[in-house]
Structure 1
Amino acid sequence: MTERNGHPAEAAAGPVFRTDGLVKVYKTGAVEVQALRGVDFTAAAGEFVVLLGPSGSGKSTFLNIVGGLDTATSGTAFFRDTELTALGDRELTRYRREHVGFVFQFYNLVPSLTALENVALVTEISRAPMAPEDALALVGLAERLDHFPAQLSGGEQQRVAIARAIAKNPDVLLCDEPTGALDSRTGIQVLDALVKVNEDLGTTTLVITHNVAIREIAHRVVRFGDGRIVAEETIETRKRPADVTW
């Protein structure tokens, strides 16, 4: 679905995400914290974007708003032609269910369920899901379907979490530090799974990381600082995860 160099082939189809002047202010009593300070951003269909920046730079707040988990104080955010910043709680819930897959640093698997059963939980409430077996095969776990989380390594558990996120066939996959709890060898396996999903399914993928080396697998890198986008870079020659040095 995507090209290995430059931007994905679908880029001309128009943005999947667009934000204009996105602002988020958190208030605790008399204290105000400005997490986002007017963020303008676009992501094309099938694009793999890495979001870099120090803690507190606004990356996670931004991801939560475009993912429908949080709301903006001002500015606009669009998913295709739908203005997310105009939706209520029920509409945002439907948006998340139908269009967005989430992967976080911690796997949040149900310990008493097998890998297959953990993935099947999501497909039961999805409109047009993948077979759970197919989702697990896509991330390299076809032989681990009947294993419980305690029988899986950290990297395997994270790949189950990715399979769970993609099993509902989301348009976008939003990942917040998906390799943050993993060593480099295991992290590379997880990144391989994310790249394969992006290439095979054409899923627009945004990945937050503190690991600057991961930028080399992206179509584009967006750097946050102090609640703003401070730099953007197109990666002309992408690397495979196995070729990235941590």
Structure 2
Amino acid sequence: MANLRDPVIGPVIRAEGLTKVYRSGPVEVQALRGVDFTAAAGEFVVILGPSGSGKSTFLNILGGLDTASAGRVWFRGLDLTALDDRGLTRYRRDHVGFVFQFYNLVPSLTALENVALVTEIARNPMPPAEALALVGLSARRDHFPAQLSGGEQQRVAIARAIAKRPELLFCDEPTGALDSATGIKVLEALTEVNRATGATTLVITHNAAIREIADRSLRFADGRIAEEVVNPVRKAPTEVSW
């Protein structure tokens, strides 16, 4: 198999016929219904849709946190659907950064130390201070989470996700717990990280206005991609009307 960090030809991530069914006794819930998807290197994609439409399930399968009931997913030449738990763990560790709505920082560690946790297990990490600088937090590196605002804590979480230099950055409602002004700062950090690192970035949100900062937006409904919109020009987060 080719080195998965060689220059990319074709999609970085690709899904075909992605289906996910959850079962609880006799009850079946079809979370995904045959989703096809591709994303190129460095692309910024916003994923929209109501709760229960399949957005998070889709992102979790692409990120190796969940497995599909049917269909296939490839990261470059690697068939993720053929991997066992150990293989998926290696894929997540080496290639994927995650940012969630809640920051999950270690309270007893400084911002710098929280980022450094990830670099200790990464193959080719960036210095933690460099990751914090990318999200505009150099001056807050020695502060503990309790000394940081919600937006600053989320930016630490972004720095932690990118410190291992992932090719894929998956964000599930990263501004969901923030007010609009703080959310814009977090989106600015994400767009800067996307530009500076070239990580293919997928962001789930309920805020339809955020689609304007992306290269492309997808709208999920009833487990399917119901709409896809390509933006000819990406707007800056400060231009988005919340």
Write the distance in 1 (CA, Å) between the matches of 2:52 and 2:76: 28
Q: Counterpart of 2:31?
A: 35
Write the distance in 2 (CA, Å) between the matches of 1:124 and 1:40: 35
Write the distance in 1 (CA, Å) between the matches of 2:106 and 2:176: 20
Tell me if 1:22 matches 2:29. no
1:243 Cα deviation from its structure 2 partner? 1.0
Q: Counterpart of 1:119?
A: 115
1:13 Cα deviation from its structure 2 partner? 3.2
Indicate which of 86, 92, 103 corresponds to 2:88. Answer: 92
Indicate which of 69, 72, 81 corresponds to 1:73. Answer: 69
Tell me if 1:180 matches 2:170. no
Write the distance in 2 (CA, Å) between the matches of 1:14 and 1:174: 19
Tell me if 1:46 matches 2:45. no
Write the distance in 2 (CA, Å) between the matches of 1:147 and 1:245: 32
Indicate which of 163, 166, 169 corresponds to 1:170. Answer: 166
1:84 Cα deviation from its structure 2 partner? 0.6
Unaligned runs of 5+ in 2: 1-7
Q: Counterpart of 1:134?
A: 130
1:238 Cα deviation from its structure 2 partner? 1.2
Q: Counterpart of 1:223?
A: 219
Q: RMSD over aligned Cα, in angstroms?
A: 0.7
Write the distance in 1 (CA, Å) between the matches of 2:211 and 2:9: 24
Partner SS for 1:42: strand
TM-score (norm 2): 0.96
Deviations 1:3-27 (A, max 9, x none): xxxxxxxxx9310111110000001
The percentage of aligned residue pairs carrying the same residue is 75
TM-score (norm 1): 0.95
Write the distance in 1 (CA, Å) between the matches of 2:181 and 2:170: 22
Deviations 1:185-225 (A, max 9, x none): 00000000000010011010000000001000000001110
Q: Counterpart of 1:234?
A: 230
Q: Which amino acid aligns with 2:154?
A: Q
Count how many residue pairs are aligned between Structure 1 and Structure 2: 235
Runs of 4 or more off by more than 3 Å in structure 1?
none
Partner SS for 1:49: strand
Q: Counterpart of 2:157?
A: 161
Unaligned runs of 5+ in 1: 1-11
Write the distance in 2 (CA, Å) between the matches of 1:77 and 1:201: 23
Write the distance in 2 (CA, Å) between the matches of 1:203 and 1:77: 18
Indicate which of 181, 195, 202 corresponds to 1:199. Answer: 195
Deviations 1:6-59 (A, max 9, x none): xxxxxx931011111000000111111000000000000000000001100000
Write the distance in 1 (CA, Å) between the matches of 2:236 and 2:157: 21
